[in-house]
Amino acid sequence: MNTLLAQSETMGLWSLFKQSFDIFSVLLLAGSLVGITAVFLCILDVRARNIVPEGVVGRLRDLARAGRWEDLGATVREDDSFVSRVLRSAVGLAGSDRTAIRDAAELAASEESARWFRKIDILNVIGNLGPLVGLAGTVWGMILAFTSLGATGGQAQAAELSLGISKALFHTLLGLCLAIPCLLFFGLYRGVVDKLCTRAIVVAGDIVERLPSREDRRQTDESGPKSVVVEASR
């Protein structure tokens, strides 16, 4: 009894890791490094200033209200936020058909939304693969345990079975430790990306509707002669 207590006190996570180290442990550790990197990049990139910066949005709205389309085009070419990238495709079609302007903006908005969601998709992939790799390691550990049991004709001691069982349980633990934080951050940042992208689409759509189109010019040309006729009749 005292021997078992002494062994349990000296047995730590590092000892278990060294005892259970194999290809599945390497895969889970590599996944952990990728997951940490992905979380760090999400913290740096998924921000309002990169998707819908208030300063740039205010300037774009002021330029659109004032009808300063050349300045607006220069601003969106210099900025790389979600709103500017959407407007960049629409500004290039200013003066053409209204439907073509809207279609270009909608296509750009879809591409930008997909681009931002791809930044966090890696967390979802790792979070779902982690438990599967851990399960594979668990199965492998149980195979080793039952192999040792069969090799001794069913007379294996607990010490002989401990290696396979510890591999199985430790791989399960590593898989869960990898999946839980990745899926947690994926769920959090998915909501943030959806909220910011929706706001950016609304802002870009409002400015796109202000862009001059062929229909606007036609209405201006048609209203011009009428006003001249009215003034002449007076």
Residue 139 within any structural domain of the chain: no
Distance CA 177, CA 119 (A): 21
Amino acid at 5: L
Q: Tokens 């048609």: give the residue.
A: 222
Q: What tokens appear for 95 in the block? A: 């003066």
How far apart are the two ends of the chain, measured CA to CA in Å?
Answer: 115
144 pLDDT band, cuts 50/70/90, is: confident
Average of per-residue pLDDT values in the chain: 81
Q: Per the domain annotation, does 233 fall within a domain?
A: no
Long-range CB pairs of 20-23, under 8 A, 24+ apart, other chains included: 20/141, 20/166, 20/167, 20/170, 20/171, 22/137, 22/140, 22/167
The pair of three-digit structure tokens given for residue 216, joined into one six-digit string: 């606007």
Angle formed by the axes of helices 23-45 and 98-151, to 10°? 150
Within a domain: 28? yes
Residue 55 lies in a domain: yes
Q: Is the dihedral of CA 11, 133, 24, 119 positive or negative?
A: negative
For 190-211, the pLDDT digits (tens) are 999 999 999 999 999 999 988 8
Decide if pLDDT at 17 tops 80.
Answer: no
CA gap 93, 88 in Å, rounded: 9
Residue range(s) defining the domain that contains residue 112: 20-128+181-215
pLDDT tens readout for residues 107-134: 999 999 999 999 999 999 999 999 999 8
Residue 221, domain member (yes or no) = no
* The length of the chain, given as a count of residues: 234
pLDDT of residue 155: 63
124 inside domain:
yes
Q: Is the pTM of this model over 0.85?
A: no
In this predicted structure, the answer to whether residue 26 has a pLDDT above a threshold of 60 is yes
Domain membership of residue 63 (yes or no) is yes
Cα radius of gyration rounded to whole Å, the chain:
31
* pLDDT the model gives residue 234: 42
- Assess if residue 210 is contained within a domain: yes
Contact 190, 120 (CB under 8 A): yes
Where is pLDDT greater, at 114 or 157?
Answer: 114
Number of domains in the chain: 1
